[in-house]
Chain A
């Protein structure tokens, strides 16, 4: 019978104590893994929404536009979109391109008025780059001029529904106030706050007429067929072909601020996870401390029988490690089960937007994403924590003179 076998007997025959300690580890680890899956899912969903609804994988602007993008420099726009698109389409790895015209506007239902970003989209090529048509949850996608598509949340704010009329007010490229009455053709839920709450989509020609910008777009959005890791190479290739009058950015460069926020969010998520783990560790420390303290006379007996300090410490460390491994395995199992549920079924945020004459079912399912590295790390961490917290009390107890340990009550 080796020390590890003796440790195993202690663990499995002190059932209640082992279960309580393992449970403290399990709960902490389950929470950490599930939380990491949720945070990963949120990050991935955010990234996907940016690519699928806002920028594509690459965006081309007229030189100087991006630096002033927030001010909508309507003179620094792409004036020859068709020829530019033709050049870009021919570049190997490019799957599709579509032009968009973005402009500041105000949206009015006749009573209330909200500032939004107007987005003119090419009805034919939009669906080759973006997922916008698939995000329509009421009414239909645009099929002609004088129609708008707005987010369901914005529709709720403005208390409008499909087939209602909204007025889009702008100052056009010449500084002249202009307003079009457009029919609400459909409502969107994308998960992207820009499109769900702050934008109004219309046919590109309608936008051009509204803004007095015939034949212009503000950006050409590009989707590649290749592995996302090759985006940088395709970007360089495009830049070399389109000439110095343009600038091109990858989707992550365009959203650097969001990635900084994601980094901060991750940091705080890590802090929350750490807090959960510290609480679990305190639970483990408490139970291991109790386990060691109540067994001090047993330690005295073992020392009397010839166990060295090292042998006693090793036996207790095996016990801590074994309980840690069992607790971590159970915690990882449940954490993975929850994570699998979150990443396959997801959390359904579908709800009904209430209103006297408004009743639109919203379909929105949030899905998590499992990070195998985190799962392994958390498992190892659980085992390491339980071994470490065992070491502290047992080292003290093992150093006692055997007679003192035997007298310990």
Chain B
């Protein structure tokens, strides 16, 4: 379970402070498929980054299964991300010189798994996202949808408790976006992983079981389906 308590975040540009989050409080339960929606500048990505230990809040706390994460050291946050959290980015963020197989293998390098185990997991994960025949393709040899599938496989290969996806369908056409969302929802049900999205895509909101609407750094409304 993720608990967000009175979360504030201000960005400092020169001497000016730009508040991005104003005291967010929320809980995300295990196995939830949650979308953080709202217009640009509403604080979706900032909230996602702080939950994922990619950024520090100005004030407030994030509890992951009851453990506070915001005061962890850089090394402890790395450990947490290494084992517990997977990320999916709007621009896929695959390493361009690596193949699909090698990109998905990256999170496992740090886990020091035996070679056979790594290979089994990578191949199985790529098969799961429908890319069993694309193991040796590099990102520039794949479509946007295929690249996002590789990114999904990469985020899930280590078996994280939580997957954070920042605008995962923003760079995809609607048919591909639908495929990707169906895939993530299936994986959420199958692997029991928490999925949290940031999005302003109506389609994503349709797929989400819980929808949290943000505006100007505050939760405007929440609804569960």
Instruction: Write the residues of chain A forming the contact surface with B, with a CB cutoff of 8 angstroms.
Output: 1-3, 6, 9-10, 13-14, 297-298, 300-309, 311, 401-404, 406
> Does the CB pair A304–B110 fall under 8 Å?
no
> Does the CB pair A305–B87 fall under 8 Å?
yes
> Does the CB pair A6–B78 fall under 8 Å?
no
> If A6-B109, A298-B95 touch, does A304 touch B54 (CB 8 Å cutoff)?
yes
> Does the CB pair A403–B49 fall under 8 Å?
yes
> If A309-B74, A401-B55 touch, does A406 touch B110 (CB 8 Å cutoff)?
no
- Is the C-beta of B197 less than 8 angstroms from some C-beta in chain A? no
> Does the CB pair B97–A10 fall under 8 Å?
yes
Partner of B107, one of A3, A305, A403, A406: A305
> Does the CB pair B97–A304 fall under 8 Å?
no
Partner of B102, one of A1, A297, A300: A1
- Is the C-beta of B105 less than 8 angstroms from some C-beta in chain A? yes
Chain B residue with the shortest CB-CB distance to A3: B109
- Is the C-beta of B181 less than 8 angstroms from some C-beta in chain A? no
Q: Whole-angstrom distance between the alpha carbons of A301 and B105 in the complex?
A: 14
Instruction: Write the residues of chain B forming the contact surface with A, with a CB cutoff of 8 angstroms.
Output: 49, 52-56, 74-75, 78-79, 81-83, 87, 89, 93, 95, 97-98, 102, 105-107, 109-110, 118, 154
> If A13-B97, A401-B56, A402-B54 touch, does A301 touch B89 (CB 8 Å cutoff)?
yes
> Does the CB pair B52–A307 fall under 8 Å?
no
Q: Whole-angstrom distance between the alpha carbons of A403 and B98 in the complex?
A: 22
> Does the CB pair B54–A307 fall under 8 Å?
no
Q: Closest Cβ of chain A: how far from B216's Cβ, in Å? A: 20
Q: Which residues of B contact A304 (CB under 8 A)?
A: 52, 54, 81, 87, 93
Q: Which residues of B contact A403 (CB under 8 A)?
A: 49, 54-55
> Does the CB pair A308–B56 fall under 8 Å?
no
Identify which of A306, A401, A406 gathers the most chain B CB atoms within 10 Å of its CB.
A306
Q: Closest Cβ of chain B: how far from A5's Cβ, in Å? A: 9
24 contacts between A and B (CB under 8 A): A1-B102, A6-B106, A13-B97, A14-B97, A297-B93, A298-B95, A301-B87, A302-B106, A303-B81, A304-B81, A304-B87, A305-B82, A305-B154, A306-B78, A306-B79, A308-B78, A309-B78, A311-B110, A401-B55, A402-B49, A402-B53, A402-B54, A403-B49, A403-B55
Partner of B97, one of A2, A9, A300, A404: A9
Q: Which residues of B contact A306 (CB under 8 A)?
A: 78-79, 81-83, 107, 110
> Does the CB pair A401–B54 fall under 8 Å?
yes
Q: Closest Cβ of chain A: how far from B183's Cβ, in Å? A: 20
Q: Which residues of A contact B98 (CB under 8 A)?
A: 6, 9, 13
The 4 closest A-B pairs by CB, nearest first: A306-B82, A13-B97, A403-B55, A402-B54
Q: Which residues of A contact B75 (CB under 8 A)?
A: 308-309
> Does the CB pair B81–A305 fall under 8 Å?
yes
Q: Which residues of B contact A13 (CB under 8 A)?
A: 97-98
> Does the CB pair A9–B102 fall under 8 Å?
yes
Identify which of A2, A302, A402 gathers the most chain B CB atoms within 10 Å of its CB.
A402
Chain B residue with the shortest CB-CB distance to A402: B54
Q: Which residues of A contact B55 (CB under 8 A)?
A: 401-404
Q: Closest Cβ of chain B: how far from A300's Cβ, in Å? A: 8
> Does the CB pair A305–B106 fall under 8 Å?
yes
Q: Which residues of B contact A302 (CB under 8 A)?
A: 106
Q: Whole-angstrom distance between the alpha carbons of A309 and B53 in the complex?
A: 14
Q: Closest Cβ of chain A: how far from B85's Cβ, in Å? A: 8
Q: Which residues of A contact B95 (CB under 8 A)?
A: 298, 301
Chain A residue with the shortest CB-CB distance to B48: A403
> Does the CB pair B93–A1 fall under 8 Å?
no
Q: Whole-angstrom distance between the alpha carbons of A6 and B103 in the complex?
A: 10
Chain A residue with the shortest CB-CB distance to B87: A304
Q: Which residues of B contact A406 (CB under 8 A)?
A: 54, 89, 93
Q: Which residues of A contact B105 (CB under 8 A)?
A: 1
> If A401-B54, A401-B55 touch, does A307 touch B93 (CB 8 Å cutoff)?
no
- Since A308-B74, A403-B55, A406-B89 are in contact, a sample of 13 more A-B pairs with Cβ atoms closer than 8 Å, ordered by chain A residue number, is A1-B105, A2-B109, A9-B102, A10-B97, A14-B97, A304-B54, A305-B81, A305-B110, A305-B154, A308-B75, A308-B78, A309-B74, A309-B75
Q: Closest Cβ of chain B: how far from A34's Cβ, in Å? A: 35
Q: Whole-angstrom distance between the alpha carbons of A13 and B97 in the complex?
A: 6
